[in-house]
Structure 1
Amino acid sequence: MSYVNYQKAVEIMSKNKEKCHFIGERSEELIEKAEDALGIKFSRIYKEFLIKYGAGNYGAEEILGVIDDDFEESSVPDGIWYTLTEREEVDLPMNLVVIYETGGDELFCLDFNNLNEEKEPVVVAYIPGEDNKNQKYEKIADDFGDFLLQLVNIE
Protein backbone atom coordinates (compact mmCIF):
# COMPACT_ATOMS: atom_id res chain seq x y z
CA MET A 1 0.00 0.00 0.00
CA SER A 2 2.97 2.31 0.33
CA TYR A 3 3.03 3.69 -3.20
CA VAL A 4 -0.75 4.04 -3.08
CA ASN A 5 -0.39 6.05 0.14
CA TYR A 6 2.31 8.20 -1.46
CA GLN A 7 -0.07 8.94 -4.34
CA LYS A 8 -2.85 9.79 -1.86
CA ALA A 9 -0.53 12.23 -0.09
CA VAL A 10 0.47 13.86 -3.39
CA GLU A 11 -3.19 14.16 -4.36
CA ILE A 12 -4.04 15.88 -1.07
CA MET A 13 -1.04 18.19 -1.47
CA SER A 14 -2.05 19.12 -5.01
CA LYS A 15 -5.54 20.06 -3.77
CA ASN A 16 -4.01 22.26 -1.05
CA LYS A 17 -1.27 24.08 -2.95
CA GLU A 18 -1.40 27.03 -0.55
CA LYS A 19 0.16 24.74 2.08
CA CYS A 20 2.97 23.60 -0.25
CA HIS A 21 6.28 25.38 0.14
CA PHE A 22 8.78 23.15 -1.62
CA ILE A 23 12.07 23.88 -3.38
CA GLY A 24 10.65 22.30 -6.53
CA GLU A 25 11.78 19.83 -9.14
CA ARG A 26 15.30 18.42 -8.86
CA SER A 27 17.22 16.75 -11.68
CA GLU A 28 18.12 13.05 -11.89
CA GLU A 29 21.76 14.17 -12.03
CA LEU A 30 21.44 16.02 -8.72
CA ILE A 31 19.68 13.04 -7.13
CA GLU A 32 22.54 10.78 -8.28
CA LYS A 33 25.09 13.17 -6.71
CA ALA A 34 23.14 13.02 -3.46
CA GLU A 35 23.11 9.21 -3.61
CA ASP A 36 26.85 9.16 -4.25
CA ALA A 37 27.49 11.55 -1.35
CA LEU A 38 25.54 9.28 1.01
CA GLY A 39 26.62 5.96 -0.47
CA ILE A 40 22.96 4.93 -0.79
CA LYS A 41 20.58 4.33 -3.69
CA PHE A 42 17.26 6.00 -2.91
CA SER A 43 14.10 3.95 -3.09
CA ARG A 44 11.41 4.52 -5.71
CA ILE A 45 9.04 6.55 -3.54
CA TYR A 46 11.60 8.84 -1.89
CA LYS A 47 13.37 9.40 -5.20
CA GLU A 48 10.07 10.35 -6.85
CA PHE A 49 9.41 12.81 -4.02
CA LEU A 50 12.89 14.34 -4.42
CA ILE A 51 12.49 14.73 -8.18
CA LYS A 52 9.05 16.33 -7.89
CA TYR A 53 9.41 18.40 -4.70
CA GLY A 54 13.08 18.47 -3.67
CA ALA A 55 12.50 19.42 -0.03
CA GLY A 56 10.35 21.83 1.96
CA ASN A 57 7.14 22.22 3.86
CA TYR A 58 3.58 21.10 3.70
CA GLY A 59 2.03 23.52 6.15
CA ALA A 60 4.13 23.36 9.31
CA GLU A 61 5.54 19.92 8.46
CA GLU A 62 9.07 20.17 7.03
CA ILE A 63 10.34 17.27 4.94
CA LEU A 64 14.07 17.03 4.36
CA GLY A 65 15.39 16.26 0.90
CA VAL A 66 17.68 17.62 -1.81
CA ILE A 67 18.29 21.32 -2.45
CA ASP A 68 21.51 21.57 -4.47
CA ASP A 69 24.87 19.83 -4.77
CA ASP A 70 26.59 21.75 -1.95
CA PHE A 71 26.31 19.06 0.70
CA GLU A 72 28.92 20.67 2.96
CA GLU A 73 27.73 24.27 3.36
CA SER A 74 23.96 24.05 3.62
CA SER A 75 21.14 23.95 6.15
CA VAL A 76 17.72 22.47 6.77
CA PRO A 77 15.71 21.36 4.75
CA ASP A 78 18.76 19.86 3.02
CA GLY A 79 18.52 16.25 4.16
CA ILE A 80 21.75 15.23 2.45
CA TRP A 81 23.77 17.88 4.31
CA TYR A 82 21.89 17.05 7.53
CA THR A 83 22.57 13.32 7.22
CA LEU A 84 26.27 13.84 6.45
CA THR A 85 26.57 16.27 9.38
CA GLU A 86 24.88 13.82 11.76
CA ARG A 87 27.19 11.04 10.56
CA GLU A 88 30.15 13.19 11.59
CA GLU A 89 28.79 14.72 14.77
CA VAL A 90 26.76 11.91 16.39
CA ASP A 91 27.89 8.79 14.51
CA LEU A 92 24.59 8.40 12.62
CA PRO A 93 24.77 4.94 11.02
CA MET A 94 25.49 4.84 7.28
CA ASN A 95 22.20 3.04 6.54
CA LEU A 96 20.06 5.95 7.81
CA VAL A 97 18.98 9.06 5.89
CA VAL A 98 17.37 11.85 7.92
CA ILE A 99 14.03 12.97 6.47
CA TYR A 100 12.35 14.77 9.38
CA GLU A 101 13.19 16.61 12.59
CA THR A 102 10.62 16.12 15.33
CA GLY A 103 11.61 19.27 17.20
CA GLY A 104 12.42 17.03 20.16
CA ASP A 105 15.07 14.43 20.82
CA GLU A 106 14.41 12.27 17.77
CA LEU A 107 15.20 12.31 14.08
CA PHE A 108 13.05 10.31 11.69
CA CYS A 109 15.13 8.42 9.16
CA LEU A 110 14.79 6.06 6.24
CA ASP A 111 16.48 2.82 7.30
CA PHE A 112 18.03 1.25 4.21
CA ASN A 113 18.91 -1.90 6.20
CA ASN A 114 15.23 -2.47 6.94
CA LEU A 115 13.20 -2.75 3.73
CA ASN A 116 9.52 -3.66 3.45
CA GLU A 117 8.07 -6.10 0.91
CA GLU A 118 8.11 -3.37 -1.76
CA LYS A 119 11.87 -2.82 -1.15
CA GLU A 120 11.14 0.54 0.46
CA PRO A 121 13.03 1.53 3.63
CA VAL A 122 11.08 1.67 6.88
CA VAL A 123 10.93 5.06 8.66
CA VAL A 124 12.50 4.80 12.11
CA ALA A 125 13.25 7.10 15.03
CA TYR A 126 16.90 7.76 15.85
CA ILE A 127 18.00 9.52 19.03
CA PRO A 128 21.21 11.54 18.52
CA GLY A 129 23.64 11.20 21.39
CA GLU A 130 22.39 7.79 22.43
CA ASP A 131 24.95 5.04 21.87
CA ASN A 132 24.18 3.21 18.61
CA LYS A 133 24.24 -0.12 20.47
CA ASN A 134 21.34 1.12 22.61
CA GLN A 135 19.21 2.59 19.80
CA LYS A 136 15.73 1.07 19.68
CA TYR A 137 14.91 2.23 16.11
CA GLU A 138 11.21 2.61 16.84
CA LYS A 139 9.25 2.08 13.63
CA ILE A 140 7.37 5.27 12.70
CA ALA A 141 5.96 4.18 9.31
CA ASP A 142 6.24 1.26 6.90
CA ASP A 143 7.92 3.55 4.35
CA PHE A 144 8.15 7.11 3.06
CA GLY A 145 4.74 6.93 1.35
CA ASP A 146 2.99 6.03 4.59
CA PHE A 147 5.00 8.65 6.49
CA LEU A 148 4.16 11.41 4.02
CA LEU A 149 0.47 10.55 4.16
CA GLN A 150 0.60 10.69 7.97
CA LEU A 151 2.17 14.18 7.83
CA VAL A 152 -0.29 15.43 5.24
CA ASN A 153 -3.23 14.13 7.27
CA ILE A 154 -1.88 15.79 10.44
CA GLU A 155 -1.75 19.11 8.62
Structure 2
Amino acid sequence: MSVETYQKAKQIIQINGDMAEFIGGQTNELIKLAEEELGMKFTGLYLDYLQTFGAGNFGAQEIYGIINDNFENSSVPDAIWYTLTERKEMNLPNNLLVIYDTGSEELFCLDFNQLNGKEPRVVSFVPGIELEKQRYDVIANDFGDFLLDLVMQEVQL
Protein backbone atom coordinates (compact mmCIF):
# COMPACT_ATOMS: atom_id res chain seq x y z
CA MET A 1 0.00 0.00 0.00
CA SER A 2 1.39 3.35 -0.83
CA VAL A 3 -0.30 5.79 1.47
CA GLU A 4 3.27 6.53 2.52
CA THR A 5 4.42 7.22 -1.05
CA TYR A 6 1.41 9.44 -1.65
CA GLN A 7 2.07 11.40 1.56
CA LYS A 8 5.71 11.79 0.56
CA ALA A 9 4.69 13.10 -2.90
CA LYS A 10 2.20 15.49 -1.30
CA GLN A 11 4.87 16.77 1.08
CA ILE A 12 7.36 17.35 -1.76
CA ILE A 13 4.72 19.27 -3.71
CA GLN A 14 3.93 21.46 -0.71
CA ILE A 15 7.61 22.10 0.09
CA ASN A 16 8.30 23.05 -3.54
CA GLY A 17 5.32 25.36 -3.96
CA ASP A 18 7.13 27.42 -6.59
CA MET A 19 6.98 24.38 -8.90
CA ALA A 20 3.31 23.68 -8.21
CA GLU A 21 0.41 25.14 -10.12
CA PHE A 22 -2.84 23.52 -9.03
CA ILE A 23 -6.49 24.58 -9.27
CA GLY A 24 -6.99 23.91 -5.55
CA GLY A 25 -8.98 21.38 -3.59
CA GLN A 26 -12.46 20.56 -4.85
CA THR A 27 -15.62 20.20 -2.80
CA ASN A 28 -17.23 16.87 -2.03
CA GLU A 29 -20.31 18.07 -3.95
CA LEU A 30 -18.29 18.67 -7.14
CA ILE A 31 -16.45 15.37 -6.73
CA LYS A 32 -19.81 13.57 -6.34
CA LEU A 33 -21.07 15.27 -9.51
CA ALA A 34 -17.98 14.06 -11.39
CA GLU A 35 -18.46 10.52 -10.06
CA GLU A 36 -22.07 10.52 -11.23
CA GLU A 37 -21.08 11.84 -14.66
CA LEU A 38 -18.52 9.05 -15.09
CA GLY A 39 -20.37 6.26 -13.29
CA MET A 40 -17.46 5.53 -10.94
CA LYS A 41 -16.53 6.19 -7.31
CA PHE A 42 -13.23 7.81 -6.38
CA THR A 43 -11.56 6.45 -3.26
CA GLY A 44 -8.47 6.80 -1.13
CA LEU A 45 -5.43 8.43 -2.65
CA TYR A 46 -6.97 9.92 -5.80
CA LEU A 47 -9.91 11.23 -3.80
CA ASP A 48 -7.45 12.97 -1.47
CA TYR A 49 -5.63 14.42 -4.49
CA LEU A 50 -8.92 15.88 -5.77
CA GLN A 51 -9.76 17.29 -2.33
CA THR A 52 -6.25 18.73 -1.84
CA PHE A 53 -5.04 19.80 -5.27
CA GLY A 54 -7.99 19.47 -7.68
CA ALA A 55 -5.88 19.30 -10.86
CA GLY A 56 -2.77 20.94 -12.20
CA ASN A 57 0.91 20.54 -12.65
CA PHE A 58 4.12 20.12 -10.74
CA GLY A 59 6.97 21.36 -12.88
CA ALA A 60 6.34 19.94 -16.34
CA GLN A 61 4.18 17.10 -15.04
CA GLU A 62 0.45 17.70 -15.59
CA ILE A 63 -1.77 15.54 -13.38
CA TYR A 64 -5.42 15.51 -14.34
CA GLY A 65 -8.24 15.96 -11.88
CA ILE A 66 -11.35 18.12 -11.53
CA ILE A 67 -11.39 21.78 -12.61
CA ASN A 68 -15.08 22.71 -12.42
CA ASP A 69 -18.55 21.33 -13.17
CA ASN A 70 -18.43 22.03 -16.92
CA PHE A 71 -17.48 18.49 -17.91
CA GLU A 72 -18.52 18.92 -21.56
CA ASN A 73 -16.64 22.12 -22.48
CA SER A 74 -13.30 21.99 -20.74
CA SER A 75 -9.68 21.12 -21.48
CA VAL A 76 -6.68 19.52 -19.84
CA PRO A 77 -5.99 19.00 -16.99
CA ASP A 78 -9.68 18.10 -16.56
CA ALA A 79 -9.78 14.31 -16.10
CA ILE A 80 -13.56 14.18 -16.30
CA TRP A 81 -13.78 16.04 -19.62
CA TYR A 82 -10.81 14.12 -21.07
CA THR A 83 -12.22 10.74 -20.02
CA LEU A 84 -15.68 11.51 -21.42
CA THR A 85 -14.11 12.73 -24.68
CA GLU A 86 -11.96 9.60 -24.99
CA ARG A 87 -14.99 7.40 -24.29
CA LYS A 88 -16.83 9.01 -27.23
CA GLU A 89 -13.94 9.35 -29.65
CA MET A 90 -11.62 6.44 -28.84
CA ASN A 91 -13.90 3.89 -27.18
CA LEU A 92 -12.11 4.24 -23.82
CA PRO A 93 -13.54 1.56 -21.50
CA ASN A 94 -15.83 2.82 -18.70
CA ASN A 95 -13.53 1.41 -16.00
CA LEU A 96 -10.68 3.78 -16.95
CA LEU A 97 -10.14 7.38 -15.81
CA VAL A 98 -7.50 9.36 -17.75
CA ILE A 99 -5.13 11.07 -15.32
CA TYR A 100 -2.05 11.73 -17.47
CA ASP A 101 -1.11 12.15 -21.13
CA THR A 102 2.44 11.08 -21.92
CA GLY A 103 2.57 13.37 -24.94
CA SER A 104 3.31 10.42 -27.19
CA GLU A 105 0.91 7.57 -27.87
CA GLU A 106 -0.12 6.55 -24.36
CA LEU A 107 -2.61 7.80 -21.83
CA PHE A 108 -2.18 6.73 -18.21
CA CYS A 109 -5.42 5.84 -16.49
CA LEU A 110 -6.72 4.68 -13.15
CA ASP A 111 -8.22 1.23 -13.80
CA PHE A 112 -11.16 0.69 -11.47
CA ASN A 113 -11.29 -2.99 -12.54
CA GLN A 114 -7.71 -3.59 -11.33
CA LEU A 115 -7.55 -2.80 -7.65
CA ASN A 116 -4.52 -3.03 -5.39
CA GLY A 117 -6.43 -3.38 -2.15
CA LYS A 118 -8.95 -0.58 -2.55
CA GLU A 119 -6.73 1.51 -4.85
CA PRO A 120 -6.99 1.36 -8.65
CA ARG A 121 -3.78 0.56 -10.52
CA VAL A 122 -2.40 3.02 -13.05
CA VAL A 123 -2.39 1.44 -16.52
CA SER A 124 -1.56 2.55 -20.04
CA PHE A 125 -4.14 2.93 -22.79
CA VAL A 126 -3.18 3.58 -26.39
CA PRO A 127 -5.92 5.40 -28.33
CA GLY A 128 -6.49 3.95 -31.78
CA ILE A 129 -5.64 0.37 -30.85
CA GLU A 130 -8.60 -2.01 -30.81
CA LEU A 131 -9.80 -2.84 -27.29
CA GLU A 132 -9.08 -6.55 -27.64
CA LYS A 133 -5.49 -5.71 -28.59
CA GLN A 134 -4.88 -3.26 -25.72
CA ARG A 135 -2.22 -4.43 -23.27
CA TYR A 136 -3.16 -2.23 -20.27
CA ASP A 137 0.42 -2.33 -18.98
CA VAL A 138 0.60 -1.54 -15.26
CA ILE A 139 2.49 1.74 -14.85
CA ALA A 140 2.13 1.95 -11.06
CA ASN A 141 0.46 -0.10 -8.33
CA ASP A 142 -1.66 2.90 -7.36
CA PHE A 143 -1.95 6.67 -7.63
CA GLY A 144 0.48 7.26 -4.74
CA ASP A 145 3.33 5.42 -6.45
CA PHE A 146 2.51 7.16 -9.73
CA LEU A 147 2.43 10.65 -8.21
CA LEU A 148 5.67 10.15 -6.29
CA ASP A 149 7.42 8.99 -9.45
CA LEU A 150 6.28 12.13 -11.36
CA VAL A 151 7.23 14.43 -8.50
CA MET A 152 10.66 12.86 -8.12
CA GLN A 153 11.35 13.28 -11.84
CA GLU A 154 10.83 17.02 -11.42
CA VAL A 155 12.83 17.60 -8.22
CA GLN A 156 15.80 15.63 -9.54
CA LEU A 157 16.17 17.80 -12.65
Where does the alignment leave 5 or more consecutive residues of structure 2 unmatched?
Answer: none
What's the TM-score once normalised by structure 1's chain length? 0.98
Q: Distance in 1 between matches of 2:83 and 2:15?
A: 31
Q: Distance in 1 between matches of 2:87 and 2:149?
A: 27
Give me the CA root mean square deviation: 0.5
Letter of the structure 1 residue corresponding to residue 153 of structure 2: I
Deviations 1:100-121 (A, max 9, x none): 000000000000000002x100
Runs of 4+ in 1 over 3 A off after TM superposition: none
Letter of the structure 1 residue corresponding to residue 102 of structure 2: T
Q: Does 2:34 correspond to 1:34? A: yes
Alignment of 1:115-154 (within 5 A): 115-117=115-117, 119-154=118-153
Displacement of 1:43: 1.8
Aligned positions, number:
154
What's the TM-score once normalised by structure 2's chain length? 0.97
Q: Distance in 2 between matches of 1:70 and 1:29?
A: 14
Deviations 1:111-143 (A, max 9, x none): 0000002x1000000000100000000100000
Alignment of 1:2-151 (within 5 A): 2-117=2-117, 119-151=118-150
Identity of aligned residues (%): 58
Q: Distance in 2 between matches of 1:74 and 1:10?
A: 26
Displacement of 1:2: 1.1
Letter of the structure 2 residue corresponding to residue 77 of structure 1: P
Letter of the structure 1 residue corresponding to residue 48 of structure 2: E
